[in-house]
Structure 1
Amino acid sequence: MDTVKIGIIGTGWIAEKMAITLEGMEGVEAYAVASRQLQTACDFADRWGFTRAYGSYEEMLDDEEVELVYIATPHSHHFEHARMSLLKGKAVLCEKAFTANARQAEELLNLAKEKELFITEAIWTRYMPLSQTINDLVNGGIIGRPMTLSANLGYPIGNRERLRQPALAGGALLDLGVYALNFASMVFGTDVERVTSTCVKTDTGVDAQNSITLTFKDGKIAVLHSSMLSMTDRQGIISGDKGHLIIENINNPQRIRVVTEDYKTAVVYNCPPQITGYEYQVYASMEALRNGWLESPYMPHAETLRIMRMMDDLRREWGVRYPADE
């Protein structure tokens, strides 16, 4: 497979970020883009150098040249658009949160397996080199035995309609909290014994900000916070009995600072040069397609489903319901 031809469903800012990414990558072609309005797709294609523009998603998916579809629509539409892509025989890279709920996620993953097609969740943190460095440091014992973790992600974006509406699977959890949950999972694993949480809801009924504590069977504790009301420091801190790691920006790690027992910085690891950070999930998808894999080892299907189920449980506890849950 020399060059992978990529088609994008959606023309919003996430689609634009992917277009910028593809522009700087090797081995990919920004081939097609689809919108519900042909003119919107044409404008996007002209701006970012795409070969084809389509005024319907189905039309793009009927193009035999498209090899990998990137889903860049709101959370509420991921299931429909990913399912449509799979039924048309296309491999899928679907933006986080993967779907609105776990039931939809399970159906998509089963369909992909049945069709023997690749699908993965485009949660970029999972694919980044610095994420592997974090695990290497933790497993290497540089901070001793890691036992506590904190992570937060927040931006003042609560006025965006996409995030305010239950019909669009809005709220801080699926947009931002999913990163904190994945960060904890990447570092501390999946053996969660207890989840406690609280949230503050908007007048539309979605979570505006939340706090989640995960207690693991081996005694580790992760405290996670996400908010669409405030600009947080976006830090992750992993603490052991011989020091701690400070990670700047948990969704796109920029720097890891190793702090010793005497609270002095021992070493700093910086993020390698990147286009946008989205390139790693595309390269991972290309690797999977070359090898005939149905999932990526960086974000296994079981992890996507487990975290979707966890978010379902949290929303149920908070009384945050989407039409897709009915």
Structure 2
Amino acid sequence: MSRLNGRRQEARQKGMRVNVAILGAGRIAHSLARTLVMMTKDERYNRLVAPYAVASRDRERAGAFAAQYGFEHPYGSYQELLEDPEVDLVYIATPHNLHAEQAVACMEAGKNVLVEKSFTANAKQARQVIETSQKTGLLCTEAIWTRYMPSRSIIDRIVSSGDLGTVQTVTGNLGYVTTGKARMTDPALAGGALLDVGVYPLNFIDMIMGPRPIERITTDWVRSPEGVDSQNSTTLLYQDGSMGVATSSMVSNSDRFGSIWGSEGYLMCGNINNVESLDLYDNTHEKIRSYPIPDQLTGYEYEVASAAEAILDGRTECPEMPHHDTLRIMELMDSIRQQWGLVYPFEG
């Protein structure tokens, strides 16, 4: 078991930091490692988290990764990481198809988990992971950074202020050319634009519309040569007459804009994947206000800090991305794929 589990109050009093390990050593793992190093030099976080270990299936790769970022413990197998009782939080940075199995294994070994998006490959796997979190009493949260960033609370305040009037439509798009990566194109890795890129527009819409009932979903996709979605578009029609429109692509670069349309004006959000600007317009299309976005280290620090605080508080989920929100998004993406007829090989 982790050294913090069951002794959280004592850990708080002693100022013990949450030891973070990274499972996987790919691109996103490097981003998280850089963030952890920066957090250790920032007075807001340096007493909260500590970079501790990295695990890869290649011992040399793990060693090089650890040396680059100053991690004390490089492991040449995932099992070695699971057997280390000093690991408090594991960030899972592997392809989507592995998330469920690895998250469950970590929690059964007494490790809290921060699971990179998409949380799992489908809702069935997500339920299994969440059930394991509830059974073990360990934190399990999805690492979709836009849910944790300060820009989210700024948007929430604007929407609730009434300046937009009644919100009727939310749109979001995201596109990057990423076809050179196997994790994006291989069906066996749960590849395709939806789970990796499309999850952001869908979350952008969901953060504003919330769990309001959906009346119907209209969606279509472009099938890649490998058999996954290269790009897609989905319209969510809610029972109250509002709607959301999400578009994503892995074969083209988009403007990445999100927009919130209301009866009294609209809000333009620059880069829904990491909001850079927020501009409010009235019904005459005149810009009446711009909202500053706080400086950040990399943007990943917010999810790490939230996970660490949750662990020290003995919680199994983070308020920014509770289990029911994660499950709702996974069920939505299952529904979208079902309409397309896209089934991953491991789903049978």
Same fold by TM-score, threshold 0.5 exceeded? yes
What SS class does the counterpart of residue 309 from structure 1 fall into?
helix
1:21-67 Cα offsets, whole Å, 9 max, x none, are 00111221110000001111000000011010000111011111110
- Residue 22 of structure 2: which of 8, 12, 24 is its match? 8
Alignment partners' CA distance in 2, 1:265 and 1:158: 38
Runs (4+) of structure 1 exceeding 4 A deviation are none
Mapped contact 2:49–2:305 kept (Cα < 8 A): no
Provide the residue aligned with 1:45 in structure 2: 66
The two structures, once aligned, show a CA RMSD in angstroms of: 0.9
Do structure 1's residue 246 and structure 2's residue 268 form an aligned pair?
Answer: yes
Alignment partners' CA distance in 1, 2:74 and 2:200: 32
Alignment partners' CA distance in 2, 1:154 and 1:170: 15
Alignment partners' CA distance in 2, 1:186 and 1:297: 12
Amino acid across the alignment from 1:284: S
Alignment partners' CA distance in 2, 1:159 and 1:20: 24
Amino acid across the alignment from 1:303: D
What does residue range 87-98 of structure 1 map to in structure 2 within 5 Å? 87-98=108-119
Alignment partners' CA distance in 1, 2:186 and 2:245: 27
1:254-294 Cα offsets, whole Å, 9 max, x none, are 11111112211111113211111000000110121121111
Alignment partners' CA distance in 2, 1:284 and 1:148: 30
What SS class does the counterpart of residue 258 from structure 1 fall into?
strand
Do structure 1's residue 289 and structure 2's residue 302 form an aligned pair?
Answer: no
Do structure 1's residue 99 and structure 2's residue 120 form an aligned pair?
Answer: yes
Do structure 1's residue 207 and structure 2's residue 229 form an aligned pair?
Answer: yes
Do structure 1's residue 309 and structure 2's residue 331 form an aligned pair?
Answer: yes
Q: How far is 1:323 from its partner? A: 2.2
- Residue 158 of structure 2: which of 134, 137, 143 is its match? 137
Alignment partners' CA distance in 2, 1:324 and 1:82: 17
Provide the residue aligned with 2:199 in structure 1: 178
In structure 1, stretches of 5+ residues that fail to align are none
Provide the residue aligned with 1:20 in structure 2: 34
Provide the residue aligned with 2:78 in structure 1: 57
What SS class does the counterpart of residue 268 from structure 1 fall into?
strand
Amino acid across the alignment from 2:178: I
Q: How far is 1:320 from its partner? A: 1.3
Q: How far is 1:100 from its partner? A: 0.8
- Residue 188 of structure 2: which of 167, 174, 177 is its match? 167
Alignment partners' CA distance in 1, 2:127 and 2:141: 12
Do structure 1's residue 234 and structure 2's residue 256 form an aligned pair?
Answer: yes
Q: How far is 1:307 from its partner? A: 1.0
Mapped contact 2:146–2:274 kept (Cα < 8 A): yes
1:53-90 Cα offsets, whole Å, 9 max, x none, are 00011101111111000000011111121111011010
What SS class does the counterpart of residue 224 from structure 1 fall into?
strand
Amino acid across the alignment from 2:118: A
Provide the residue aligned with 2:320 in structure 1: 298
Q: How far is 1:115 from its partner? A: 0.8
TM-score by length of 2: 0.92
Provide the residue aligned with 2:238 in structure 1: 216
Provide the residue aligned with 2:5 in structure 1: none
What SS class does the counterpart of residue 259 from structure 2 fall into?
strand
Q: How far is 1:194 from its partner? A: 1.2
Amino acid across the alignment from 2:317: E
1:135-181 Cα offsets, whole Å, 9 max, x none, are 11011111111101110000111232111110010000000111111
Amino acid across the alignment from 2:34: I
Alignment partners' CA distance in 2, 1:23 and 1:76: 28
What SS class does the counterpart of residue 234 from structure 2 fall into?
strand
Amino acid across the alignment from 2:100: F
Mapped contact 2:220–2:340 kept (Cα < 8 A): yes
Q: How far is 1:314 from its partner? A: 1.1
Q: How far is 1:324 from its partner? A: 2.8
Alignment partners' CA distance in 2, 1:248 and 1:299: 22
1:104-144 Cα offsets, whole Å, 9 max, x none, are 11001101111111100000111111111101101111111
Alignment partners' CA distance in 2, 1:282 and 1:14: 14
Amino acid across the alignment from 2:26: G
Mapped contact 1:100–1:324 kept (Cα < 8 A): no
TM-score by length of 1: 0.98
- Number of corresponding residues: 326
What SS class does the counterpart of residue 324 from structure 2 fall into?
helix
Alignment partners' CA distance in 2, 1:248 and 1:4: 34
What SS class does the counterpart of residue 174 from structure 2 fall into?
strand
Percent of counterpart pairs with the same letter?
47
